[in-house]
């Protein structure tokens, strides 16, 4: 059965499949590379509203777009309503199709300044931020959050109802508390409860590393869309498999290891072309480590790559690995 499109304000997103914002990962290069696998919407790395206020060059790079990955949502974090409103106007002027508010990040560097999931300790402040951002821009505003700061303070339904009343067009729920970080299992029953509690679209997020499991959770929770994050790293084919199921056809098989590594080479070369070798090499170490997952000798290869500072040398290791993987087939 074909899934329905996700409607965020006046925008129609198809398929209802969203790439999560990931710090240091979802730059414009990765979004453009992953979009063709079947994403309906991509989200930038989350950016500091304070950094935008002061015109940080690095932050402006983080919200830059290719144009290939549209529609694009730009995610903002901060604890001051007026600063968040100013940042929303900036990213809208820079081409954001959607402005997303981050009430979900549990990283200490964000929460120590009361940003991200720390905002959930004060639902009134959450509401003030949402109202200020909605009033500041002429595009849809969405919000991503966790269940609450801790198990004892699950405020997600309260904050989501405030979001709906403030004019927020859709809510994403990562079904863990801030204190959990990424430990334990995401509890999708909370996503089902949220869907029953509000009328605006709900996007479910958390532990979606298998296409069939993802579709079952979407169906059972009633979520209008699903957001994929860490599970796509080194495995963009998961996106294609979920899109297949959303379009009512069987999920295609994961490509063989050599083919996966050939895409890793494309990813690496594109990053070098766009960012330069000095920036691309350290960023690609984590990506290559994940592309190598499940390949014979992966642990040794990862250790080698972590010590390499040259793009040519790293690509040489991957090309050698591809050749070794294909050698048995040639011999046969």
Active site residues: 105
DSSP 212-251: HHHHHHHHHHT-SEEEE-GGGTT-THHHHHHHHHHTTSPP
CA–CA gap between residue 296 and residue 319 (Å, rounded): 15
How many C-beta atoms lie closer than 10 Å to residue 168's C-beta? 27
Helix H or strand E encompassing 26 = none
Residue 128: count other Cβ atoms within 10 Å of its Cβ.
19
The Cα-based distances of 100 to 57, 129, 175, 294, 314 in angstroms read 21, 11, 18, 35, 36
Nearest-angstrom CA–CA distance, 55 and 12: 32
CA distance 180 to 157: 18
> Cβ distance 195 to 202 under 8 Å?
yes
Q: Would you say 6 and 16 are in contact if contact means Cβ atoms under 8 Å apart?
A: yes
Contact (Cβ atoms closer than 8 angstroms) between residue 103 and residue 146: yes
Strands 11-13 and 6-8: antiparallel
């Amino acid at each position: 059965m074909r899934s329905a499109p996700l409607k965020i304000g006046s925008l129609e997103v198809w398929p209802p499949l969203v790439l999560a914002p990931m710090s240091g990962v979802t730059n414009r290069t990765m979004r453009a590379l992953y979009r063709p696998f079947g994403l309906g919407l991509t989200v930038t790395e989350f950016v500091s509203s304070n950094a935008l206020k002061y015109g940080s060059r690095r932050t402006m790079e983080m919200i830059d777009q290719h144009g290939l990955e549209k529609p694009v949502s730009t995610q903002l974090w901060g604890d001051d309503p007026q600063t968040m409103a100013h940042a929303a106007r900036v990213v809208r002027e820079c081409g954001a199709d959607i402005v997303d508010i981050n009430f979900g990040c549990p990283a200490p560097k964000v929460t120590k300044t009361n940003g991200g999931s720390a905002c959930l300790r004060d639902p009134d402040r959450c509401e003030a931020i949402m109202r200020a951002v909605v009033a500041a821009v002429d595009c849809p505003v969405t919000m991503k959050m966790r269940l609450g700061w801790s198990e004892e303070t699950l405020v997600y339904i309260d904050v989501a109802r405030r979001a709906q009343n403030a004019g927020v067009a859709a809510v994403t729920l990562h079904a863990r508390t801030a204190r959990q970080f990424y430990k334990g299992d995401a509890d999708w029953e909370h996503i089902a409860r949220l869907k029953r509690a509000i009328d605006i679209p709900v996007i479910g997020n958390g532990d979606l590393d298998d296409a069939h499991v993802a579709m079952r959770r979407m169906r059972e929770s009633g979520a209008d869309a699903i957001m994929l994050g860490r599970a796509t790293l080194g495995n963009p084919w998961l996106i294609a498999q979920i899109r297949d199921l959303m379009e009512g056809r069987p999920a295609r098989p994961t490509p063989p290891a050599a083919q996966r590594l050939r895409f890793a080479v494309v990813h690496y070369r594109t990053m070098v072309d766009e960012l330069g070798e000095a920036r691309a090499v350290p960023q690609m170490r984590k990506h290559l480590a994940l592309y190598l997952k499940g390949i014979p000798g992966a642990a040794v290869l990862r250790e080698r790559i972590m010590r390499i500072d040259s793009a040519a040398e790293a690509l040489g290791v991957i090309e050698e690995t591809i050749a070794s993987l294909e050698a048995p087939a040639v011999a046969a």
